[in-house]
Amino acid sequence: MQFDPGGELPKKPNNEQEVPSGEYLLALVWFDRKISREKGTEYFRTKYQVCSGELRGAAFFSMLGVDGTKYGTARQWQEFAQSVGVKVAFELGSMAEGNTAAADAEIKRLFTNIPFLATVVRKSSGQYTNSSIKRFLPPETMENSHRREAQEWSLNRGTFPDPDDEGNDTRRAGWESEDEIPF
């Protein structure tokens, strides 16, 4: 195959498209615990995917703090938990405390592949332009169309919560009934 470096580029796949500022139905699809080079603080490198609309499949990377003793980080985790229907306390873990494996498994179980509404902002800093979540929106802000799209996306990903033998959701700790599932 011959490649022309001056030729036209093929169209970007959806998962590499930029996600401009706006309100989106998203899902956390991946995360990895990291330590920042500058401050030495722990954080999660996260990947969110758009679950509906023209940009369905588009994704962006962002960061989510780990230190729940800081107001901004605690508020962000509180909003995130509310947006995906988590009502019980969970462990964030800490590399310093050596309890990251269990905490990461719990965060994966409670937060990944669960659609939620969020406000995304796209900002430039130096030579880079990045998207990030400005605000996780409460589930009651979801319209019926969002709920249908969330359920469809979850079913297609094979991540819709599996019921136990009595039909109760075993993945979402703290849900009292199906009416409480955020979508």
Contacts of 168 (CB under 8 A, 6+ apart): none
Percent of the chain at pLDDT above 90? 57
Q: How far apart are CA 60 and CA 83, in angstroms?
A: 19
pLDDT of residue 172: 45
Q: Which of 46, 56, 47 is nearest to 25 (CA)?
A: 56
Q: Tokens representing 2?
A: 């011959």
Check whether 83 has a pLDDT greater than 90. Answer: yes
**Cα-based distances in Å from 104 to 57, 88, 98:** 24, 16, 12
**Which tens digit of pLDDT belongs to each residue from 105-135?**
999 999 999 999 999 999 988 888 889 999 9
pLDDT band at residue 14, thresholds of 50, 70 and 90? Answer: low
Check whether 157 has a pLDDT greater than 70. Answer: yes
The whole-number average pLDDT for the span 83-100 is 91
**Which tens digit of pLDDT belongs to each residue from 16-75?**
568 999 999 999 999 999 999 989 899 999 999 999 999 998 999 999 999 989 999 999
pLDDT of residue 16: 55
Task: Please answer whether residues 41 and 94 qualify as being in contact, where contact means their C-beta atoms are separated by less than 8 angstroms.
Answer: no
Check whether 170 has a pLDDT greater than 50. Answer: no
Lowest mean pLDDT among 55-69, 83-97, 131-145, 146-160: 146-160
Pairwise pLDDT comparison (178 vs 87), residue with the higher score: 87
Contacts of 61 (CB under 8 A, 6+ apart): 45, 46, 47, 130
Q: How far apart are CA 98 and CA 171, in angstroms?
A: 25
pLDDT of residue 159: 55
Q: Which of 77, 76, 50 is nearest to 150 (CA)?
A: 50
Sheet of 116-125, strand order = 59-65, 42-50, 22-35, 116-125, 128-136
Average pLDDT over the chain, rounded to an integer: 84
Lowest mean pLDDT among 41-55, 88-102, 161-175: 161-175
Q: What is the pTM of this model?
A: 0.79
